[in-house]
Amino acid sequence: MIIEFDKLADSSRIWIYQSNRKLSNSEVLAIEPKIKMFLKSWTAHGKELEASYEIKYNRFIVLGLNQENASASGCSIDASVNFIQTIEKEYSLDLLDKMNVTYYNGEFIAHKSLVDFKKMAKAKSISKNTIVFNNLVNTKIDYLENWEVPAKDSWHARFLA
- Cα–Cα distance measured from residue 71 to residue 13, given in angstroms and rounded to the nearest whole number: 9
CB 125 within 8 A of CB 133: no
Q: What is the CA radius of gyration of the chain?
A: 16
Q: Residues of the chain with pLDDT > 90: what percent?
A: 79
From residue 48, give the alpha-carbon distance in Å to each of 20, 39, 65, 72: 31, 9, 11, 10
How confident is the model over 99-154, as pLDDT tens digits?
899 999 989 999 999 999 999 999 999 999 999 999 999 999 999 999 999 999 99
| Cα separation of the two ends of the chain | 46
What average pLDDT score do residues 76-83 get?
87
Question: 62 pLDDT band (50/70/90 cuts)?
Answer: very high
From residue 75, give the alpha-carbon distance in Å to each of 44, 79, 136, 149: 7, 6, 21, 32
pTM confidence score: 0.92
